[in-house]
Amino acid sequence: MKRTQKILAPSILSADFLNLGRDVTIALEAGAQYIHFDVMDGTFVPQISFGTPVIKALRPLTDAVIDVHLMVEDPSRHVEEYARQGADIITVHAETCTHLDRVIGQIKACGKKASVALNPATSLHVLDYVLDELDMVLIMTVNPGFGGQKYIPYCDGKIRALRKMIDERGLDTDIQVDGGISASNAKRLSECGVDVFVCGSAVFEGDIAKNVKDIMEQF
């Protein structure tokens, strides 16, 4: 069933790291509900971002949902530490998990919500046997590793197909999108069935509070 309330999850990858706590607080006070952490290892994706010290620093500032997206090889090595530092949702890539079911179980054993991310060209069929175990599926709408990319148009159909899969099974699994999301396409994506919207530069470039409100008005 579709979530009735849509969620905005600003990605701190685009925030001002000199004033990270300030920027996150402004976004949350303006109405954002999650904080999205893009963790990149320089191997699965070209860039290196940040690790658990950033979550440890921000966790005491808010009780908002911390949504950790592990764009890393062999994410099972990191799940328990991110859980310990305060992650509420942990997302791993299907492309990096030899034993995807095992990693989903590991996340749940830590008492956290489990999510699986799929790159744009990865088939939804990798979820056939694990979808019932998931709290969220992240559809990457750009190829991961860099901020500021343009949304890939064929992802609309992929989102609609995933929504149909979820609804046909009678699940409450959320659909999250990440990549090229802004006020200009949020309404269309909401109509496709998206529940959680990750926005980086669309939130943190310019007037953060206004950007949050402009995006959320489209849901």
Catalytic residues: 38, 178
Ordered strands of the 89-93 beta sheet: 7-10, 196-199, 174-178, 136-140, 113-118, 89-93, 65-71, 34-40
Q: Which two tokens stand for residue 76?
A: 């099972």
∠191-148-143 over CA atoms, to 5°? 75
Whether the CB-CB separation of 187 and 153 falls below 8 Å is answered with no
Q: What is the residue type of 123?
A: S
Cβ atoms within 10 A of the Cβ of 35, count?
A: 24
